Amino acid sequence: MGSTRAVAVFGAYGHTGRFVVAALLERGLTPILAGRDSGRLRSLAASFPGPEVRVASVDDAVSLDRALAGAAAVINCAGPFAATTAPVVEAALRARIPYVDVAAEVEAVADTFAHFDERVREAGLLVVPAVAFYGGLGDLLVTAAMGAWTHADEVFLAYALNSWHPTAGTRKSSQVSRARRGSRRLVFVDGRLELRTDQAPTGRWSFPAPVGERAVLGEFITADSVTIPRHLKTSAIHSCMTVEAVRDVLAPDATPPVPVDERGRSAQTFLVDVVVRSGAEQRRAVARGQDIYAISAPLAVEAVTRILDGQVEETGVVTAGEIFDAPDFLRSLSPHLSFEPGPAESHRAGDHGQQV
């Protein structure tokens, strides 16, 4: 493992990568800017004076080894992750350093667990995929809500975005996933993911104030349907997204996010409402914040910081909720995220407000 506090950021000049570089600098870590486009790397370096630039491509293992040389960890921000994850994980294994990514592609995250867990565990290393808005945040919220529970009969994740302007990376990753699924869509049923050809259901969800009751698209599968069941026992994960956000991201003329503050965040706001049920008891946890791409940076950087500080003893391919104290982790994001753990409640039919 690297002996420095340098962290290689592969895909550093991408939309989320820039947030990650800034977050590393804020935490006193030294980012190494890595990616295949030397011009974009140099331009980014001009915005963040000091970081070293290293040109690397997933098609060139030697260049990846140079990019990771001397680094204590690597954060992969380059999508589509179906193409970048395996080469960068392989380079991390050769460098013997931990790997974290911000992947939201469901299949790519599942592939990371399926293809690398045994090898990473045998090497005594750590790979943590999907430490981002999708995959990481929901996993942490569900873990926090469950507390000492070892099993939940049902898990509900409801997403409310006031808008969703996709980045170029999101559009490319979506294209890859659609091509892989063909005309089918993913659902989580009976404890596993499967493909279906029918239409996703619609319904309504009662979000905490001030969002309130909203129309939602049901069975909106995210990487959380991979990360959560890796370490939490449940046969039913129900996820939904406000219909306006789905229309935004699928619009053929969708525009990319526009920065509105000094951090470069867009005006997009989000609320993630989590409900877990066991028998007649249910528990809730809520997260609120601004910009789903920007929040991925403090999530990933907090994970790397805790790993480098020696707070994790596990090895293998793991999830954020599996290896970290979820409530403590979420509270540590308070400058960027509002975390509201809810009290235990008695469950009644229709309590969730979801009718799909």
CATH classification at residue 226: 3.30.360
CA separation for the pair 268, 275 (Å, rounded): 23
β-strands 337-341, 281-290 pairing: antiparallel
Q: Residue 282 carries which side chain, given as an amino acid letter?
A: Q
User: What is the greatest pairwise CA distance in the chain?
Assistant: 58
Q: Tell me what pLDDT residue 2 has.
A: 41
Asked whether residue 329 is domain-assigned, the answer is no
> Is residue 328 included in any domain, yes or no?
no
Domain count across the chain = 2
Is 157 a domain residue? yes
Instruction: Using CA atoms of 308, 310, 315, 316 in order, give the dihedral in degrees to the nearest 10.
Output: -20
pLDDT of 346 = 59
Q: Are residues 161 and 280 in the same domain?
A: yes
The answer as to whether 77 is a domain residue is yes
Residue 72 lies in a domain: yes
Number of Cβ atoms within 10 Å of the Cβ of 254:
14
| Same-domain check for residues 116 and 138 | no
Q: Are 249 and 134 in contact (CB under 8 A)?
A: no
pLDDT of 356 reads: 44
Are 151 and 222 part of one and the same domain?
yes
What does the pLDDT look like over 335-352, one tens digit per residue? 999 999 976 665 544 455
Rounded to an integer, what distance in angstroms lies between the CA atom of residue 299 and that of residue 85? 18
Q: For every one of its 356 residues, what pLDDT tens digit does the chain have, with 9 covering 90 and above?
A: 444 699 999 999 999 999 999 999 999 999 999 999 999 999 999 999 889 999 999 999 999 999 999 999 999 999 999 999 999 999 999 999 999 999 999 999 999 999 999 999 999 999 999 999 999 999 999 999 999 998 999 999 999 999 999 999 999 998 888 888 988 998 888 888 899 999 999 999 999 999 999 999 999 999 999 999 999 999 899 999 999 999 999 999 999 999 999 999 999 999 999 999 999 999 999 999 999 999 999 999 999 999 999 999 999 999 999 999 999 999 999 999 999 997 666 554 445 555 44
Domain assignment of residue 113, given as a range? 6-132+296-323
Q: Please tell me whether residues 244 and 316 are part of one structural domain.
A: no
Evaluate whether residue 353 is within a structural domain.
no
Residues 139 and 40 in one domain: no
pLDDT tens for each residue of 80-114: 999 999 999 999 999 999 999 999 999 999 999 99
For residue 225, the surrounding DSSP H or E stretch is helix 224-231
Contact 215, 355 (CB under 8 A): no
- Same-domain status, 145 and 279: yes
Does 13 fall in a domain?
Answer: yes
pLDDT score, position 355: 45
3-state SS, residue 264: coil
Question: Do the Cβ atoms of 91 and 74 come closer than 8 Å?
Answer: yes
The answer to whether residue 352 sits within a structural domain is: no
Q: Are residues 51 and 169 in the same domain?
A: no
Say whether both 148 and 244 belong to one domain. yes
- CA–CA distance from 285 to each of 205, 212, 326 (Å)? 15, 16, 11
